[in-house]
Amino acid sequence: MKVTIYHNPRCSNSRGALALLRERGIEPTIVEYLHHPWDLAGLKALVQRTGEPLRALLRTKEAAYAELDLGNPARTEDELYAAVLAHPVLLNRPIVLTPKGALLCRPPERVLELL
């Protein structure tokens, strides 16, 4: 099974999802998205695969979230995408992709829904 994890090794949820995959003998493709950020088309495709709106995938506790006033419902999708492209840390993690779909795996056990 081909699995990709958009991962931040400093995040306990991300490390937990990766550990759960490995415990099941799955070595995923690991994308450290803070070092290899998306382009707009790639980010939109990822968000679309999750079935969630981008707003639902944002890290609301990041300083940039408040600084950019991203909690303001008047912010457009285009503004949200531009913010994530400029500040990839705003996207929550880990997001895991398998042939069954894509899912924000918080808590990490959600990864099991994709196996």
Catalytic residues: 11
How many Cβ atoms sit within 10 Å of the Cβ of residue 40?
A: 12
Question: Which of 1, 48, 61 has its CA nearest to residue 28?
Answer: 1
* Strand segments (E) across 12-104: 29-32, 95-98, 101-104
DSSP H or E stretch at residue 41: helix 40-50
